[in-house]
């Protein structure tokens, strides 16, 4: 790893992929997200030996959206352990992130934690063990990223609440199968806030470091998950982390990763580093157009992937 010039590599990739801006679309089904300036690109790499490499808008906080699913899932995985698997599966869905279709056939048990239905169950599990879930989520991600300034964007959270009919449908539907323990409004409120967390590429690359480091936060040595649990989260990111484009992402990058409709994608190279790319315009699957291409170029040029 020492002989790879990460700084030059990410700067070159950023300049080359910037040309894709204009070919995608900023998420507009959440009105507050539609207002984001699409001409932004950031890349950050955080190595396990403590180096941070950054290029472009890597310090600009953005709406992490579905990337929050990894954080809340990790919180409840630690607390609930394997009991979680009676509430959700770990198979790719092959459907869009907010789909309802499988839930009816599968008795209200979501396919995996990284589609909306699964994330809503994770949030419900958190509500069952936390008196103040929003405070707990915030202190968890602040600790992981080593940044006490991370906060929620309540404008985005409220915008989602006003238009979140599908998420409301999902949570009510699962409640009808007995797979939601708490009040649906409370689950939705926590879920919309976690999606509205504002973090930069640098924050996210740091916050995912524990997944590159066998479950231990390299910033402070704290055990976040067991090594086995970290392996499982990475495996699910590999198979389910990019909606129904997870296969394409694995094919292009050979890395576990998680995307969000705010335009961020975080990927993990176990035992080495984590990397985050952000650019708000999305492809038709809801993944960052620049992010997909940048990560493909990165793993191809450096020759680093898990395969
Ligand atoms: N808050 C978004 C939703 O639930 C998250 C979607 C995403 O990033 O995949 O619709």
Give residue limits of the domains in the chain: 6-302
CATH for 6-302? Answer: 3.40.710.10
Average of pLDDT values for 8-26?
Answer: 97
- H helix intervals, the chain: 6-17, 68-80, 101-105, 116-129, 133-145, 154-163, 165-176, 184-195, 201-207, 209-212, 227-240, 246-253, 289-302
Q: Note if 69 is an active site residue.
A: yes
Ligand 1 centre from 194 Cα, in Å?
Answer: 10
Does ligand 1 have an atom closer than 6 angstroms to the CB of 98? yes
Ligand 1 centre from 65 Cα, in Å?
Answer: 5
Question: How many other CB atoms sit within 10 Å of the CB of residue 226?
Answer: 15
pLDDT confidence of residue 95: 79
- Which tens digit of pLDDT belongs to each residue from 62-88? 999 999 999 999 999 999 999 999 999
Q: Is the pLDDT of residue 30 over 60?
A: yes
CA distance 270 to 252: 17
Nearest Cα residue to atom 7 of ligand 1:
66
CA distance 275 to 202: 8
Q: Note if 191 is an active site residue.
A: yes
pLDDT confidence of residue 99: 81
CA distance 277 to 127: 31
Q: Is the pLDDT of residue 91 over 60?
A: yes
Percent of the chain with pLDDT over 70: 99
Does ligand 1 have an atom closer than 6 angstroms to the CB of 32? no
**Residue 304 burial by CB count (10 A; 0-12/13-18/19+): exposed, middle or buried?**
middle
Nearest to 285 by CA among 252, 299, 2: 252
């Amino acid at each position: 790893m020492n002989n790879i010039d990460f700084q030059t590599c990410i700067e070159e990739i950023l300049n080359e992929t910037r040309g894709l801006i204009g070919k995608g679309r900023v998420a507009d089904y959440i009105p507050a997200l539609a207002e984001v300036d699409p001409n932004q690109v950031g890349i950050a790499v955080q190595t396990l030996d403590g180096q941070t490499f950054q290029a472009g808008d890597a310090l600009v906080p953005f709406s992490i959206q579905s990337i929050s699913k990894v954080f809340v899932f990790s919180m409840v995985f630690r607390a609930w352990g394997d009991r979680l698997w009676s509430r959700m599966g770990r198979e790719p869905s092959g459907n869009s992130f907010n789909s309802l279709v499988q839930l009816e056939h599968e008795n209200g048990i979501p396919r995996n934690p990284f589609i909306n239905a699964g994330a809503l169950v994770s949030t419900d599990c958190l509500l069952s063990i936390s008196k103040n879930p929003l405070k707990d989520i915030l202190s968890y991600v602040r600790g992981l990223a080593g940044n006490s300034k991370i906060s929620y964007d309540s404008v985005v959270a409220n915008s989602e609440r006003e238009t979140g009919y599908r998420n409301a449908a999902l949570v009510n539907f699962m409640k009808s199968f007995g797979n939601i323990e708490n009040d649906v409004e409370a689950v939705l409120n926590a879920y919309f806030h976690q999606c509205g967390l504002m973090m930069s590429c640098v924050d996210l690359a740091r916050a995912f470091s524990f997944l590159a480091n066998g479950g231990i936060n390299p910033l402070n040595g704290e055990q976040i998950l067991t090594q086995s649990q970290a392996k499982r989260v990475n495996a699910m990111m590999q198979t389910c982390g990019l909606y129904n484009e997870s296969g394409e992402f694995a094919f292009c990058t050979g890395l576990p990763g998680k995307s969000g409709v705010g335009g961020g994608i975080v990927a993990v190279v176990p035992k080495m580093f984590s990397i985050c790319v952000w650019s708000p315009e999305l492809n038709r699957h809801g993944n960052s157009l620049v992010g997909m291409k940048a990560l493909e170029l990165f793993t191809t040029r450096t020759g680093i992937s898990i395969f």
